[in-house]
Amino acid sequence: MNSTTFNNPFLISRVDNPFQNHPDIKSIHENEFKTLCQAISEIKKDTNSQSRAITIIGAPGCGKTHLAMRLANEILFSNRLLFIRQPNNRDSVYLHIYTRILESMVENVPGTPYSQLAYLLGKSFSAIIINQIKNKENLSLKDKSILEILQADPMNIYKKIGGEGTETRRRNWKYIENITLQWWESNYGLGGHSKDILKGFIKYCSYTDPKRKHLIYRWLNFLDISEQEAGLTGLMPHKENDMHEEFALDAMIVISRLSLADEPLVIIFDQLEGLKYNEDLLFKFFESVKELFTHLPNSLFIFNLFSDRWENWQKILDPSITDRLSQSVIHLQAPDFTKKIQILEIRAQEAGFSLENFFSEDELRVITNNYSIRSMLVSASNHFRHKTGSLPLADTYESFEEKIENQIKELKQEISQLKKYLNISLPTFREVIESESIDFFIEEKKQELLKEKTEKRVYSETDDAGKILVIINLFKGKIITETGRLKAGARKLPEHVLIKGSRNDIIAGFLHMSGNSLTGRLKNLYTLCINNPLTDFYIFRNFSSSPVKSKIAKETLAKLKELNNFKFRLISEKERLEFEIIYELITAIQNKDIEGDPIFALKITRNKFSSLFLFQLLESAEIAL
């Protein structure tokens, strides 16, 4: 068989999120999957709609996120599945969780033209309207007509109730808004941000214009919109930027309470391994999660954790938290030999060749000897590339040294002699393999982000500051002595990270907002720059942010640019893509989704994205890669 005619079917060895589509053998972790489905059913039957938690324990690559993908494939038509990656900023944990929920919500429900958000709101609003109409003593002809339409299909709220001509559509959605707000007020009152959030969700459903929908989506993410943009949506701009945590918690409460008229929510927390590098954030995250258990009804919380991490966190976290996480614990074990072969066979069949004809029995024994599914697929991929002649054989890191220890020693000696002879620095064999893995990840992530819905591309200042912190903390205790925030009393500053080096201090801040909030922060920045001449201020603004229009803001920014310790830079669309790829790469390594060293990964990306603002910042902090 000419193996060069086939693409490598083992190259993709991980599931990044539950909304992807990868080959799935349902007999693997079948009982564990049934446990998850049973828990959802029990919440639905519970008259109190009390939320519960399930913790899934397993080694890296054993199938935790894959199990979430199977759950999405099975239940997404009826239930909303929400995927939360690790937070990165202790000051915005609720906002991080909530904005990841919104990201999940704009994913499509398979086989329908609707997003998860449209489905949740359509089914919930329809159920609320049906209930409110039924409780009336005397029904009008309009009430009877709406009742008949929505009882036939709750999604008729878009197709027939709110989907007619412009004026009729506007009146119908106003009717939906009024009856929903009446229901909310009678059940929960109108305190906090709930009334405005409900209006925001209703308006998001009512508009068909993509520009307006995206503005509302930005508003729902607690991002700044101008007064002119607010006028297009009928929403008021957010007044206080530091109210984001209250807003986010209220919004999650609204979503969970709306789900009571629909189906239980499934909230999956994954890729939490990186929290071990920031203990302060770790404690803040789980304290926030404890509050969510209290405030969000009708939800199944799923936590995917490594075994050693779970053991460690049980010792250091508050028992009130670990008790909730321990309500139900699932331990994922490696599949047996037969199931491993099935996984390889289904990959080979999709590529169009026979597994047995391609690999020898000895090769299959070596491949399946790897413990996790991911490490097995990596090994299969390496063997595939070896047989096609594209690369020498390199098995997985787990057992590589044991199997060819003598060959490695010999190879190291030869490389060392070659380096001395040529007077050059050559990469080690391991670096070559890591570099290839990183290159593949970068290209794969680039394609994924480019295909991502434009609607999802919203970037918050707190999240960006958190991303910088994750990267800078790689050097903490080495080049960087401390990271934190600048103390400025009651003055409001851009979201930022204070980087204290051995020689100088640097502020890395993000300023994506507009209007009066932008003007105020620029004024405060100017004062700080004048009073701290030995501190370098780097302020970044996203390409998608509104142009700076205020006369005072423009003048203040011009004065700032004249200062020697102030640097202002717009993040281009290309740089934004590169920055997101690097952050995803570092967190993937920390969460052991791919093998590698994060600092070595930065070296690789610096060669690819040399003009990125991040590397300008690292160079200013005297971090040499």
Same domain, 477 and 592: yes
Lowest-confidence segment of 177-186, 217-226, 478-487, 550-559 by average pLDDT: 478-487
Using pLDDT thresholds of 50, 70 and 90, give the confidence band for residue 399: very low
Whole-number Å distance between alpha carbons of 210 and 455: 9
Using pLDDT thresholds of 50, 70 and 90, give the confidence band for residue 1: very low
Of 603, 594, 593, 609, residue with least CA distance to 624: 603
Give the domain CATH number at 608: 3.40.1350
| C-alpha Rg value of the chain to the nearest Å | 27
User: In the listed set 306, 331, 356, which residue is the last one of a domain according to the structure?
Assistant: 331
What is the distance of C-alpha 213 from the center of its chain? 21
Using pLDDT thresholds of 50, 70 and 90, give the confidence band for residue 163: low
* pLDDT at residue 316 in the model: 93
The answer to whether the pTM exceeds 0.75 is yes
The two three-digit tokens of residue 267, written as one number:
């909230």
Same domain, 190 and 310: no
Within a domain: 246: no
Same domain, 321 and 345: no
Within a domain: 82: yes
Report whether 393 contacts 407 (CB < 8 A): no
Within a domain: 396: yes
Whole-number Å distance between alpha carbons of 509 and 254: 32
Same domain, 345 and 415: yes
Report whether 133 contacts 175 (CB < 8 A): no
* pLDDT at residue 2 in the model: 47
Same domain, 466 and 606: yes
Within a domain: 247: no
Is the pLDDT confidence value at 482 over 80?
A: no
* pLDDT at residue 4 in the model: 55
What is the per-residue pLDDT across 252-299, written as a single tens digit (0 to 9) for each? 999 999 999 999 999 999 999 989 888 899 999 999 999 999 999 999
* pLDDT at residue 208 in the model: 84
If one counts the domains in the chain, the total is: 4
Is the pLDDT confidence value at 369 over 90?
A: yes
User: In the listed set 405, 426, 447, which residue is the last one of a domain according to the structure?
Assistant: 426
Distances (CA, A) of 379 to 6, 61, 77, 344, 498: 17, 13, 36, 11, 42
Place of tokens 């490696």: 334
Instruction: Tell me the mean pLDDT in the region 181-186.
Output: 93
Using pLDDT thresholds of 50, 70 and 90, give the confidence band for residue 168: confident
Within a domain: 182: yes
What are the φ/ψ torsions at residue 484 (nearest 5 degrees)? 180, -145
* pLDDT at residue 392 in the model: 64
Give the domain CATH number at 288: 3.40.50.300
User: In the listed set 221, 237, 253, which residue is the last one of a domain according to the structure?
Assistant: 237
Same domain, 582 and 468: yes
Within a domain: 122: no
Same domain, 327 and 355: no
Is the pLDDT confidence value at 417 over 90?
A: no
* pLDDT at residue 395 in the model: 46
Strand order in the sheet with 566-571: 480-484, 495-501, 505-510, 535-542, 566-571
What is the per-residue pLDDT across 570-619, written as a single tens digit (0 to 9) for each? 999 999 999 999 999 999 999 988 888 999 999 999 999 999 999 999 99
What is the per-residue pLDDT across 30-57, written as a single tens digit (0 to 9) for each? 999 999 999 999 999 999 999 999 999 9
Which residue range is the domain that position 384 belongs to?
337-426
Within a domain: 475: yes
Same domain, 93 and 61: yes
Is the pLDDT confidence value at 431 over 90?
A: no
Same domain, 497 and 608: yes
Is the pLDDT confidence value at 189 over 80?
A: yes
Instruction: Tell me the mean pLDDT in the region 376-399.
Output: 73
What is the distance of C-alpha 106 from the center of its chain? 13
Same domain, 286 and 359: no
What is the per-residue pLDDT across 91-144, written as a single tens digit (0 to 9) for each? 999 999 999 999 999 999 998 999 999 999 999 999 999 999 998 888 888 889
Instruction: Tell me the mean pLDDT in the region 456-472.
Output: 91
Same domain, 191 and 97: no
Same domain, 608 and 468: yes
Within a domain: 356: yes
